[in-house]
Amino acid sequence: MESLTIAEAQQMTDKWIKTIGVRYFNELTNMTLLTEEVGELARVMARTYGEQSFKENEKENIGEEMADVLWVLICMANQTGVNLTKEFLNKFEVRTKRDEQRHKSNNKLKE
């Protein structure tokens, strides 16, 4: 599968949870899991782009860690009734209106 909409990802995840995963973990468990997965992504980012080095048997798996974050986020959206497509599009519009000139006029971002 080369492409996937956010809505399709939410549907696939829901089907998987209900057929293979038995049920969703509760919201607090999933929030904790999301925090854990973000921490794992941060560790790989620090070792890949920061000053830390990988430990023995560790590997650079940024994509895998990002997918773990996305998985838990989708689970949380599904169980709380959030339509991620709708929310993303709304937030995109808000950011576009709010930041249309903000970043262009930020001297810290100019090369």
Provide the CATH number for the domain around residue 44.
1.10.287.1080
Cβ(32)–Cβ(76) below 8 Å:
no
Give a yes or no: residue 100 inside a domain: no
pTM: 0.87
Q: Does residue 60 lie in a domain region?
A: yes
Q: Is residue 57 in some structural domain? A: yes
Instruction: Examine the pLDDT at 12 and tell me if it is beyond 90.
Output: yes
* Cα separation, 97 vs 87, whole angstroms: 15
List all residues 6 or more positions away from 85 whose beta carbon is below 8 Å from its beta carbon: 5, 6, 7
Question: Which of 37-41, 51-55, 93-97 comes out lowest in average pLDDT?
Answer: 51-55
Query: Is 25 part of a structural domain of the chain?
Result: yes
Domain hosting 74: range is 6-83
62 belongs to a structural domain? yes
C-alpha distance from residue 33 to each of 10, 53, 54, 55 (Å): 18, 25, 23, 23
pLDDT, tens only, 66-110: 999 999 999 999 999 999 999 999 999 999 999 888 888 888 888
Q: How many domains does the chain have?
A: 1
pLDDT tier for residue 1 given thresholds of 50, 70 and 90 = low
9, 3, 2: which is closest to 83 by C-alpha?
9
Q: Which two tokens stand for residue 59?
A: 């590997």
* pLDDT top residue among 55 and 5: 5
CA separation, residue 3 to residues 7, 9, 80 (Å)? 12, 10, 25
Arithmetic mean of pLDDT over the chain: 93
On whether residue 46 sits in a domain, the answer given is yes
Q: Can you give the pLDDT at residue 47?
A: 93
Percent of the chain's residues with pLDDT above 90: 78
